[in-house]
Amino acid sequence: MNVRRFSVAAFGMLLMGASLFAQSPEPGTQTSTPKREAHAEKRAERQQKRIAQGVASGSLTPKETARLERQEGKVNKDIAKAEADGKITKKEAAKIQKEQNKESRRIHRQKHDAQTTK
C-alpha cells in the first residue's frame, strides 16, 4: 500500500514538474519589452484622458472628438500590432512615438481652436 502511494505521489510530482518546465521561457531569451510597452500604453491612456477632458469642458465639438478618437484608435491598433509578437522593437517604438507625437499636437490644436460646444 505504501509503495502504491509513493508511486502515485512521485508520478504526480514528475507530471507537475514537467508542466512547469514546459511553460518557462528558454534562459537568455526576452519575451517582451515591458518598458516600451508600458510607455506607449500609458501615453495612449493620457491622451485619451486629454480628449475626455476636452469633451467635458466643451472645447471639443462632437465632430472633432470623433476624428480624434478615430485617429487614436489607429495608434492603438499599431501598438497592439507591435505587441503581437511579444516584443516591441526600437523601430516599432519609434514609429509609435512619432504617431503619438502627431496625435498629441492634433489634440492640442483642436482643444485650443475657436470651436466650442458651449
- pLDDT, one tens digit per residue, over 76-115 is 999 999 999 888 899 999 999 999 999 999 999 999 998 8
Contact 96, 40 (CB under 8 A): yes
Residue 23 counted as domain residue: no
Structurally, how many domains does the chain consist of? Answer: 1
Residue with cell 472628438: 65
Residue 7 counted as domain residue: no
Residue 16 counted as domain residue: no
The domain in which residue 63 lies consists of: 34-118
pTM of the model: 0.68
Going by pLDDT thresholds of 50, 70 and 90, the confidence category of residue 17 is low
Residue 76 counted as domain residue: yes
Contact 115, 57 (CB under 8 A): no
Residue 91 counted as domain residue: yes
Residue 9 counted as domain residue: no
Residue 24: predicted pLDDT: 47
The average confidence (pLDDT) of the chain is: 82
Beta-carbon contacts of 115 under 8 Å, excluding residues fewer than 6 positions away, are: 61, 64
Q: What grid cell was written down for 39? A: 510607455
Residue 95 counted as domain residue: yes
Distance CA 49, CA 42 (A): 11
Residue 1 counted as domain residue: no
